[in-house]
Amino acid sequence: MLDSFTTLFNFRGALDYLPQLLQGAVVSIEMTVWVMALSLVFGLVVALARLTRMRAVRIAATFYVEVVRGTPAILQLFYIYFVLPAFGINIPPFGAGVVGLTVNYAAYLSEVYRAGIQAVPRGQVEAAMALGMSRRLMMRRVILPQAIRIVVPPLGNYFISLFKDTALASTITVKELMFSGQIIAATNFQYFTIYTIAGIIYLGLSYSGSLAVQYLERRMKVGNRRRRRPIGSGAVQGALS
């Protein structure tokens, strides 16, 4: 097994390929940051739309989520990159990748947000209403701060998944890590070497991101223990101060 690995893996060539692959990894990271930032915002908007009392808005948001969850992400990318130009909307590859993945991930993150909002104890909502807080103020000062702490772990997992899913953007010629590997492999046929290096880079960055998420979770748990208050009007009054 080891002999086969040393025969197939070009150690000398790996050093030559590494800089180009790392450049692709930088593009993957940039896309991940852009998509996650936009998805966090739009996902929250969609979640609030699904919880609104306005029926038309709620139906539209639900329709969007179901369509996105019911179709593959690669189809959504293709639609944005290949279909929209027919309507005069031309988006460059990187922008199309960001838009496509944002459309996809915002739908999933909206469900995470919605679950977090609905997980806030009912007692705090009732206490806020008893104190005469408006729905908007109650959402901003009482519900959302607690919901955010609840959803951090799943949001972190989606962040890691998103980094790996940026490989889908290679299908629309975004020069990220996977596309860079494909270009190199197509020119020198060192498939084992190239894809092994790419896999190691993906694994290393994903694992580093996972450790960062775990650290953030631990920090937030410590903060939660320090801030913990009894459920009821006392906790809500603290939000008003």
Can you give the three-state secondary structure of the chain, one letter per residue? CHHHHHHHCCHHHHHHHHHHHHHHHHHHHHHHHHHHHHHHHHHHHHHHHHHCCCHHHHHHHHHHHHHHHCCCHHHHHHHHHHHHHHHCCCCCHHHHHHHHHHHHHHHHHHHHHHHHHHCCCHHHHHHHHHCCCCHHHHHHHHHHHHHHHHHHHHHHHHHHHHHHHHHHHHHHCCCCHHHHHHHHHHHHCCHHHHHHHHHHHHHHHHHHHHHHHHHHHHHHHHHHHHHCCCCCHHHHHHHHC
Question: Quick one: which of 26, 53, 11 has its CA closest to 177?
Answer: 26
Each residue's pLDDT tens digit, 3-55? 565 667 777 777 888 999 999 999 999 999 999 999 999 999 999 999 988 99
In this predicted structure, the answer to whether residue 232 has a pLDDT above a threshold of 60 is: no
In this predicted structure, the answer to whether residue 214 has a pLDDT above a threshold of 60 is: yes
Domain that holds residue 187: 2-240
In this predicted structure, what is the pLDDT of residue 36?
96
Query: In which residue are the tokens 């494909």 written?
Result: 182
In this predicted structure, what is the pLDDT of residue 55?
94
In this predicted structure, what is the pLDDT of residue 2?
55
pLDDT-derived band at 235 (thresholds 50, 70, 90) equals very low
Q: How many domains does the chain contain in total?
A: 1
* Cα–Cα distance for residue pair 98/136, rounded to 1 Å: 31
Task: Tell me the CATH number at 174.
Answer: 1.10.3720.10
In this predicted structure, what is the pLDDT of residue 231?
44
Each residue's pLDDT tens digit, 136-189? 888 888 888 888 888 988 898 999 999 999 999 999 999 999 999 999 999 888
| Average confidence score pLDDT of the chain | 87
pLDDT, average across residues 91-114? 97
- 109 or 240: which leads in pLDDT: 109
In this predicted structure, what is the pLDDT of residue 230?
47
Question: Quick one: which of 230, 203, 175, 239 has its CA closest to 31?
Answer: 175
In this predicted structure, what is the pLDDT of residue 93?
97
pTM of the model: 0.85
In this predicted structure, what is the pLDDT of residue 133?
82
In this predicted structure, what is the pLDDT of residue 177?
96
